[in-house]
Amino acid sequence: MKTTHQERGGWIGAAEGRDMDQTRIARAALSRLFEPLDPVGMLLVEAFGPLEALRIASGQAPADDLAALARVLDGAGRGPAATLQSGTGKAGGGLAAALERWSPRVAHLAPERDLETIARFGGRLVIPEDAEWPVGLTELGTDGPLCLWVRGEEPLPDTERCVAVVGSRDATGYGLSMAGELARGLADFGVTVVSGGAYGIDGQAHRAALTSSGPSVPTMAVLAGGVDRYYPSGHEELLREVARRGHLISELPPGAAPSKHRFLKRNRLIAAMSMLTVVVEARWRSGALSTARRAVDLGRQVAAVPGSVYSANSAGCHGLLRDGAMCVTEAKEAYELIAPAGEGLPEERDTPTKPHDGLSLVDLMVLEALPVRRGSQLEHLAVVAGLSEAEVRAGLGRLSLLGMAERSEGGWRRTREA
């Protein structure tokens, strides 16, 4: 028979005396109790910490204690705790409304079971108190996640070595090709490619990164549901391979179902965990643009891949470029944006040269006036070129030294080399 929270007397009390991290248990429970970006819940954790926040949010602490705690923690009565008490500002409807919103989930909380579930999948719960917590997530402030449910053996990579490659689900062949080249190249440079595991650009980025033999974790998929649920189902094999060689990450506990609002909320994690966000293809209302906007808010770099002006799939990318995003066409250009100063600079491209490259305007005008077969007199060349005879004479002298003009019986003409 299932044991309820009330029968156990609450997980905080039941877990006392066990060799288990109470903060980890509290954050695991809160991740199931709160929806991502719950304003009251996040302020509660910021004001009182995860243990006391869980006690209050689950109804184990008298509501009257909140005012006293606010005075102790905020001194003058200002700050996140006071905001909760007054029910103003970002807290929305206040604590009373939030408690009513959370109450249906309280009886279903079983953080120890969730931790056992993630362990069975070879994963773990990473919390802000852990050394491997991505430093980029701290910049989200109260918009940051309570914890990360992670599948993957290696420690989470440094934010400085992560690049997000995102774009449309209904990608074109061009978009898929570019996403693959970028992701594979970045992984070869030792960069971890971050994306959302979706169809289209996301899936291609993960797939290409996994083909790399680079020195780091090749790719991370940030999911909008539990890491034990492979969504979309068509990417089950791909996501299994990402979990085996990279990381599957979610702020939602095992079993959580993906939903539209959760997809939009998880985009902030992709942006925060990456030093650079590259949008390969995006329509005007693409979710990839929300990732780019969040990256801009965090002061991170944003780049876009240009496409055809006639392609609706590139309209969002062109909008980003107009707004100041960097233009990238290959992995080297993307890597240059995050590499330490002096490293990762793309090589100069070999450009075919022509004989007249570097000529002054006067010399070019004289060269264009020269006939190919028959020679032409100085006076006639001055008329054709629209220059004075002195300018033509000086130009002919320089072109002759360069082997581009020669004197013949009928006058001056252009050489074959020119």
204-255 confidence digits (pLDDT tens): 999 999 999 888 899 999 999 999 999 999 999 999 999 999 999 999 999 9
Q: Write phi, then psi, for 161 (nearest 5 degrees).
A: -110, 25
CATH architecture of 135-336: 3-Layer(aba) Sandwich (3.40)
Q: What is the pLDDT of residues 366-394, one digit of tens each?
A: 888 888 888 888 888 888 889 998 998 89
Percentage of the chain lying above the pLDDT 90 cut = 62
CATH number of this structure's domain 361-414, picked from the four choices 1.10.10.10, 3.30.750.24, 3.30.70.1520, 3.90.1180.10: 1.10.10.10
Instruction: Give the model's pLDDT for residue 402.
Output: 86
Domain boundaries, the chain: 5-109, 135-336, 361-414
Tokens 């969040």 belong to: 294
- Rounded to the nearest integer, the mean pLDDT of the chain is 86
Q: Is the peptide bond prior to 232 cis by the omega test (within 30 degrees of 0)?
A: yes
pLDDT tens digits along 46-84: 988 999 999 999 988 765 665 555 444 444 334 454 445
Could you tell me the two tokens for 131?
């050394």
Residue with tokens 């979706």: 198
* Spatial distance between the Cα atoms of 107 and 3, rounded to a whole number of angstroms: 9
Q: Which pLDDT band holds residue 138 (cuts at 50, 70, 90)?
A: very high
Rounded distance, CA 54 to CA 279, Å? 38
String of DSSP letters for 204-234: HHHHHHHT---SS--EEEE-SS-TTS-SSGG
- Judged against a pLDDT cut of 50, whether residue 19 lies above it is answered with no
Supply the pLDDT for residue 348: 61
What is the rounded average pLDDT of the residues 161-174?
96
pLDDT of residue 327: 97
Task: Please give the pLDDT value at position 74.
Answer: 46
Confidence of residue 6 (pLDDT cuts 50, 70, 90): very low
